[in-house]
Structure 1
């Protein structure tokens, strides 16, 4: 099992040679790291998103934005780093791909001043396994893959603890790491990995904890394919972020009124069927 996982990890590493994980997806509307995507405008918003579900949610609202006099341009990214760096650099006006704890951690680690202007949805994180049909069936000594960033790694460990697979030193610490595991009855090995790559190799491990946006993008259904799923009251709500000095701009107030609307809630309910949950009151 470990040899098979190692081969899979090496294959992913080879695929990434010459294409940094921190580069946005190569799509028609994807930002380059050179010139800004667009010039600033009172009514234009260039927003960086993960394609699923964030980009799909925003794309569904494009007619509403246009009716409100906003010009919204969507830029897709396949990682969790560049959307914040390019927002800080001014290449983006806003981004929508991350949950609040990740934004807070990223700000501290990179000395940025990005702020949330509102919550949109929750993506319950799930545990996936090719061989086990429940947490109890995960074999002793298995590799269990989790995201390697601090916020999502800690989130994954808290989920594994809640399901009884491990015990942590402090169950309230959202930034727990594998060094904080104090009980490990099945002697599992935690394997941290870039979150976007986990769906490609999870079948070679005993289990893996996958963010729902990457799971959905890989054709997995969080409500049907998981052996454990976060509860809907998770504090990890996905937010729209902007530079702190821009948070009170009128265009963002209008933008969020449309995003946090009944139409968005209905779209999320119908398209994702519980795999994504609206996290606002309208």
Structure 2
């Protein structure tokens, strides 16, 4: 049975602003944790918190780990909370996103262990294939730098658009060299892409938000990101200096255990893929 604490983005964003990204940290962050202290991990509800809940309910007690899961619905507050010590770790992001976040916010969050990949997909409630998109169709894409670039690279890889040479992880619609269908792009918060499907012709949706919206990436996506040489696997992350926390090491080992690999395969049926 799930036993998580749900946190709304609005409340946490206020707290993050109050504490500030450059705060010296809470007393908790400055005091060496005991092995018996709870390890508080921030996570997106699906699939991250579900995977952590499996660990908590089936593996943590035997390993001597007191695990507490806090759910966040956005891609910002888990990092600010990790930086200021409100939580001990987070599990929701990939390396390109973290690199961009650290650079823009002056944070020093680092990955600990890679766990899974959620393939990015193009979805529509109006057409059955990407070829059916009409001239001038509107496509929603995430508005954060890395996920927007990732979305455009997905469309490029499937011949829907062509990006200029050298367009990287931070590609924007301005980097499109060819747009045969004259597609229009609507930039929305990543968490809103699936919800925007009724208002646009198609949307590029992150795997976790697709699953939350009852979409099945392996079956429902018009086009789906390839897993080959994919840099967007999600990992457990901590503030730099906390990598050697014994509790973090225990969780890292449990998250990459055969039991978790089987749980991911059984529960997500190809929509989430173990990366270990």
TM-score with structure 1 length normalisation? 0.85
Conservation of the 8 A alpha-carbon contact between 2:140 and 2:196:
no
In structure 1, what is the equivalent of residue 207 of structure 2?
A: 212
Q: Deviations over 1:44-80 (max 9, x none)?
A: 2100000100000000011311211111110000000
Matches within 5 A, 1:32-181: 41-43=33-35, 44-62=38-56, 63-170=58-165, 173-181=168-176
What SS does structure 1 have at the residue aligned with 2:80? helix
> What's 2:247 paired with?
251
Distance 1:102 1:157 in 2: 15
Aligned counterpart in structure 2 of residue 273 of structure 1, from 242, 246, 269: 269
Q: CA deviation at 1:139?
A: 0.7
Q: Contact 1:97–1:240 (CA<8 Å) still a contact in 2?
A: yes
Distance 1:163 1:178 in 2: 16
1:118-137 deviation line (CA, Å, top 9, x unaligned): 10000000000112211111
Figure out how many residues of one structure are paired with residues of the other and give that number. Answer: 257
2-side partners of 1:76 and 1:138: how far apart?
35
- Secondary structure of the corresponding residue to residue 104 of structure 2: helix
Contact 2:121 2:221 in 1 (8 A): yes
Q: Secondary structure at the match of 1:223?
A: helix
Contact 2:28/2:85, CA 8 A, preserved across alignment: no
**Match for residue 3 of structure 2?**
none
Change (3 A) 1:163 1:87: same
> Is this contact kept in 2: 1:147–1:193, CA < 8 A?
yes
Q: Which runs of 4+ in 1 moved over 4 A?
A: 19-25, 33-40
Question: Comparing 167-176 with 48-57, which one deviates more in the overlay?
Answer: 167-176
Give the Cα–Cα distance (whole angstroms) in 1 for the partners of residues 9 and 86 of structure 2: 18
Q: Structure 1 225/245 Cα, relative in aligned 2: closer, same or farther at 3 Å?
A: same
Deviation at 1:172, TM superposition (A): 5.6
Q: Secondary structure at the match of 2:220?
A: coil
